[in-house]
Amino acid sequence: MVTKQTSLDMVELSGEDVYPDWENLLKNNTENKDGKNTAKSELDISLDMLLDEKKDINYWQDLFNQMNFPGMDLMAVNKDNNYVLDPLEEHKIFQEKIVQFLKLLATENVNDLRTAGISESSIFAMEKGLAPVNWTVHLKYPLAYTGRLDFDNMVLIQIQPFHEDIHQFINKQILSKAGVARPEELYIPVPSGRVYIPMSGSFGGAGGGKAAAQISSNSGNANGGR
């Protein structure tokens, strides 16, 4: 079964999700100091491995099952053709929201943070708007694919391996040898709740989630915020 959403452009700046142009992302991350087109090793993206043709839903379901997404749902989201937010303004707003979200978690989701293995000193730092080491605030649904910059669309998740794996999964659908593709429909791994707790296969806060082997379908908005 597939979960439908309606909009995705994903990029990372300073460890958080933002959504500027993929063209710039590809260019900036394939130029070395000499101006030669050489992919940065930290992105772990090999252009030879990027997909050139559209794969069917079964391909992405199988890949999802092979990768490390314990407890997440695989969601099908549609591109939002009305998405026009300026990337720089978007990044500024997101940075402000991240600080607010971290403070909120340190107040309302302390037990979830402890269950996720976050130390008391890190929780104290979160009260000041600072993320724990190897954790980042992730937008579950990208803004260009109907996501919103609100708390219902945010989750605190470990950067390695889970956050990086989510972006790797998405990159395989968007980047190709020919350049950048923006599919009308995109499949994305989506954690539920405010704090991702992979050890128990569950999520903090408003958790839940279907079996990882499923692709969900929902013609409405899965963010809760719109």
Tens-place pLDDT, residues 87-101: 888 999 999 999 999
Angle at 137 between CA 132 and CA 82, to 5 degrees: 165
Whether residue 39 has pLDDT greater than 60: no
Nearest-CA neighbor of 14 among 89, 71, 86, 94?
94
13-36 burial code (b ≥16 CB/10 A, e <16)? eeebbbbbebeebbeeeeeeeeee
pLDDT at position 11: 35
Are the beta carbons of 190 and 108 closer than 8 angstroms? no
Whether residue 113 has pLDDT greater than 60: yes
pLDDT at position 176: 65
pLDDT at position 42: 36
pLDDT at position 56: 79
Per-domain residue ranges of the chain: 3-30+60-216
CA–CA dist 207, 203 (Å, integer): 5
